[in-house]
């Protein structure tokens, strides 16, 4: 399967602990996105990378959240000092934007479901 993969699929942690999630995008995709999704809502944009450069970060994103994509391939999302409000599904998507026309399809991983106790 050459789709987007995410690990772990589930994570339960205690409030105050740090957690790290990993995303492996489709290999030829240069763009990688992180989203958060809570029950009954659509995905909420967190941040995105073009290759290894982090180009945008949501203003809603707390300083406790940090993401990296060191070699322009896989990415990690770390949440420090987790809070119960961080409980959500964290989705990763990758894409490649077509030259000459501003359109892209994002391909999503299965997500990491985080529960903060």
Q: Any contact of residue 33 with another protein (CB under 8 A)?
A: yes
Q: Any contact of residue 45 with another protein (CB under 8 A)?
A: yes
d(CA 37, CA 77): 15
Binding another protein (rule: CB under 8 A), the pick from 19, 91, 114, 116 is 91
d(CA 8, CA 114): 9
Residue 3: count of CB within 10 angstroms of its CB: 12
Sign of CA dihedral 8, 55, 36, 92: negative
Q: Any contact of residue 116 with another protein (CB under 8 A)?
A: no
How many chain residues bind another protein (CB under 8 A)? 23
Q: Any contact of residue 105 with another protein (CB under 8 A)?
A: yes
Q: Any contact of residue 74 with another protein (CB under 8 A)?
A: no
Binding another protein (rule: CB under 8 A), the pick from 56, 64, 81, 85 is 56
Pairing outcome for strands 44-50 and 31-37:
antiparallel
Residue written as tokens 């990690």? Answer: 76
Q: Least CB distance from residue 18 to another protein, whole Å?
A: 25
């Amino acid at each position: 399967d050459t789709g987007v993969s995410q690990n772990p699929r589930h994570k339960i942690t205690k409030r105050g602990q740090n957690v790290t999630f990993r995303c492996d995008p489709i290999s030829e995709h240069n763009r990688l996105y992180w989203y958060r999704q809570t029950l009954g809502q659509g995905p909420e944009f967190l941040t995105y990378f073009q290759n290894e450069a982090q180009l945008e970060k949501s203003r809603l994103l707390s300083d406790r959240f940090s993401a990296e994509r060191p070699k322009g391939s896989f990415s990690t999302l770390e949440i420090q000092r987790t809070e119960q409000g961080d409980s959500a599904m964290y989705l990763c998507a990758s894409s490649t934007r077509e030259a000459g026309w501003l359109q892209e399809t994002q391909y999503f991983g299965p997500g990491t479901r985080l529960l903060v106790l």
